[in-house]
Structure formats: structure tokens, C-alpha cells
Amino acid sequence: EAALRRMVEVLKAVINANEKIPGTLNQGYLGQFSAFIEDDLDTPKAIACVHEMLKDESLSLLDKKMTLLRMNMILGFLGKHSPVVIPMEIEELVRKREQAREEKDWKEADGLRNKVKNLGYDIKDTSNGPILYPLQHNE
């Protein structure tokens, strides 16, 4: 029970990580995870793989987040409230917008916000950085 609680705490920390530098997928853990899933849906080994990845101190929090989100696309263990996977093009526009905001280039920042909106996402600025929301079709 304590191990399960710890894993849930780490999952929450990883999912809530909000750093400006993007993480990268860890192909090693992702490959192991996929192999377990493809092996007659060996869920216990797949979950153990997730647990090992979360404990791996050589991975950054953002690398863990990116890898965990991809694993979640396969198994869905985070439930319906898991974050939306944002296309790299949108992430790059948001990074450029944040840089423009830091440089107080409001015209550029507004233009980038409009580009993001035209691609189907809205940006909410928070003290922890921007949060993206997919626009509804009627917006």
C-alpha cells in the first residue's frame, strides 16, 4: 500500500511538472513497456517498468513526463484526466511567445498567440507559465 501511494505521488509530480525546457522520450523504457504490452498484455510487468522509470534518477522530470504520457496513450492508466498531447509545432510557437513576453515584445507575443489560436489552441498565462487548451469546434 505504501509503495502504491508513493507511485501515485510521483505520478502526480511528474504530470504536474511545468518547466520551459521540453523533455524527450526515453526510448529504452518505452521499448520495454511496449514489449510487455505486446507480450499478451503483460500489465504487471508494464506497470513495474513505469515504476522503474519513475525511480530512475538519471532521467529528468520532463523526460519522465514525456515518456509517461506516451505510455499512457498505450495503456490509459492516468484515466480521462490525462493531459492532452500538444503537437511540437504548437509547443515551439508557445516557446517563442514566452521568449517574446520575456523581452516585452508584446506585438510579437500577441501575433504568436493568434497563430496558436488559429491552429486550434488557446493560451492561458499563469504564474507557472502558459497552459494550452484545445479550442472547442464552436469557438
Domain shared by 45 and 105, yes or no = no
**Shortest CA distance to 116 belongs to which of 91, 99, 84?**
91
The verdict on residue 25 lying in a domain is: yes
pTM across the whole model: 0.48
pLDDT band for position 22 (50/70/90)?
low
For residue 39, what is the domain's CATH number?
1.20.120.640
d(CA 40, CA 35): 9
One domain for residues 105 and 58:
no
Q: Does 139 map to a domain?
A: no
Q: Is 20's pLDDT higher than 50?
A: yes
C-alpha–C-alpha distance, residues 15 and 95, integer Å = 19
Question: What digits encode the pLDDT tens for the residues 36-70?
Answer: 888 888 888 988 898 899 889 999 877 888 888 78
Cβ(129)–Cβ(98) below 8 Å: yes
